Structure formats: C-alpha cells, structure tokens
C-alpha cells in the first residue's frame, strides 16, 4: 500500500505510525517549527538535512543519501520496527514525504505509505493537530539494504551511453530547458533525459492521479523501456522519489533513483549539459 488516505488514517490511527516530513528548501528549519506548532497526533519529525541526507561535499549533490547506519539507528529511535506501518506526510503533496518512503523501502521496510493529499487533506477533514510530542519506545530496526535501488553517476553515464536506461527528470519544464535555474549554478539538463514534472503526478487537490492515468503518462515516456530500466532525477534526488512512487502506484515496479541528480551532475565540468 503506497498511499494511505486521510480517512483511513483518521479511522484507524492505532494501525499507523505517522512521520512528519515537512520541509522548506528556502528555510530549512521551517518544517520543524511547523511540527512544534501542530502535527498529526503521534507523528515523529524527520528533517530532510539532518535525518534523510548526508552532509554536502565538494563532489556531491545538495542532498546526498544518508549514512544508512545512522538512519537505521534513527528509525529504531523513532520506534519503527518490522511491524510498524509508517505513514509519511508533508505539506507539499508528498514531494518530501516520498524521500522517506523511498529510503524505508530501500532499507527493506515495505510497510510504508505516503499520506495522499498531505496535512492539508487531514485538516480538510477537520482532524486534530497537536503540539504534544509522542511517547516513543525505541526498538531495533533491522535493515536489508537494496543496493540496486539507485544508480550512482558512473552507472548512470554508462547506461545512458549504452541506451539501456531512460532518465526521467522531475523538475519544471523551465528548469529542464535551461530557461531558468533558481537553485543550482548551471541551467539545463542531463543529455538524453526526458522531462516529467512531478506536479503532473497530481490532481488539482494535490492528491495522486488514479493508477490508470499515471500508467498512461509514464508508459508514453517509456516506449520500449521496462520499468526497471527507468531512472529518476531532479535537482538533488529528493523530489525524484515522487516519480518512483507514482510509477509504483501505476503498477510499474522497479524504477531507480539517481540520488545525486542535477546538482551532482554539474559538479564536474567534464559532464555535458543540454538545453532546449
């Protein structure tokens, strides 16, 4: 179950362990401040920079994959074990929550969903928020790391050269084309990539489109490629997880993440850049 509805969470709160993933790239502490003011009862808070990423280095993108040993410890400290059904949520239609969803699955924990519509959908049902911190009993979290869930930059360059993968860039069409670049120092996209902005995974309420619509969207891009040949990219490897989630909802299983994404790719002047 990759998505959980607000109705399901509200009716059966004891069945789920919510994790608040709200975050702002412009104001990195905003999400934690919002959590302190009010969150879904029982929710823990996962900070994108501190918990779900590693520190930036001279060769990485803006949100490198976390140290999996440290993340494993943190998951146990949050009370997440093999029996916990985690529900990740944010206030951006799952753009940040999907990072935790992907990380948990990559660590072998498949009892994880994203709250469809996020905290806005929760509030639209007049469900309560609380500032009370949850009482947590730490538990052991046993990871089973799937190293095939992502491709590093060398593996990506190889498969692009061999035409054995399809790279889907989740950024806006303006950023993909190189018309504008509000975050990174170089504009454009990785040569050979196709563009599928993650906003196109959503309806006008900020909920995911039906599985059939998502399948049609991605199948139109994929051509003869199989789902496991698809690699997702964005600016820093966070929002790209939304595309992986959309494909899983669509029944197109096994697509991969390029964690470094555009912000890593442009670290080397030897890597080519394309614009439209």
Residues with a catalytic annotation lie at: 234
Q: Are 176 and 184 in contact (CB under 8 A)?
A: no
Exposed e or buried b per residue across 226-261, where buried means at least 16 C-beta atoms within 10 angstroms of its C-beta:
ebebbbbbbbbbbbbbbbbbbbbbbebeebbbbbbb
Closest CA to 239 of 169, 178, 182: 169
Q: Coil, helix or strand for 207?
A: coil
Contacts with 39 (C-beta within 8 Å, 6 or more apart), sequence order: 18, 20, 45, 119, 129, 130, 131
């Amino acid at each position: 179950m990759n998505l959980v509805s607000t109705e399901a969470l509200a009716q059966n709160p004891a069945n789920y362990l919510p994790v608040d993933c709200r975050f702002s790239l412009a104001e990195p502490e905003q999400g934690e401040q919002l959590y302190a003011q009010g969150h879904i009862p029982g929710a823990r808070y996962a900070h994108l920079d501190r918990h779900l990423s590693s520190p930036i280095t001279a060769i990485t993108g803006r949100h490198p994959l976390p140290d999996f040993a440290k993340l494993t410890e943190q998951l146990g400290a949050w009370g997440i074990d093999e029996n916990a059904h985690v529900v990740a949520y944010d206030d951006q239609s799952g753009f940040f929550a999907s990072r935790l969803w992907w990380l948990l699955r990559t660590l072998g924990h498949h009892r994880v969903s994203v709250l469809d519509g996020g905290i806005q959908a929760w509030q639209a049902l007049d469900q309560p928020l609380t500032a009370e911190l949850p009482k947590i009993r730490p538990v052991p979290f046993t990871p089973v790391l799937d190293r095939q869930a992502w491709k590093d930059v060398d593996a990506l360059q190889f498969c692009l050269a061999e035409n054995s993968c399809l790279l889907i860039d989740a950024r806006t069409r303006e950023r993909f084309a190189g018309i504008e670049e509000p975050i990174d120092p170089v504009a454009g996209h990785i040569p050979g990539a196709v563009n599928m902005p993650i906003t196109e995974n959503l309806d006008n309420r900020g909920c995911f489109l039906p599985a059939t619509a998502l399948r049609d969207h991605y199948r139109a891009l994929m051509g003869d490629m199989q789902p496991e040949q698809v690699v997702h990219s964005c600016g820093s490897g966070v929002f790209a997880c939304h595309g992986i989630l959309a494909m899983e909802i669509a029944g197109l299983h096994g697509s991969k993440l390029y964690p470094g994404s555009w912000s890593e790719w442009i670290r080397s002047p030897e890597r080519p850049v394309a614009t439209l």
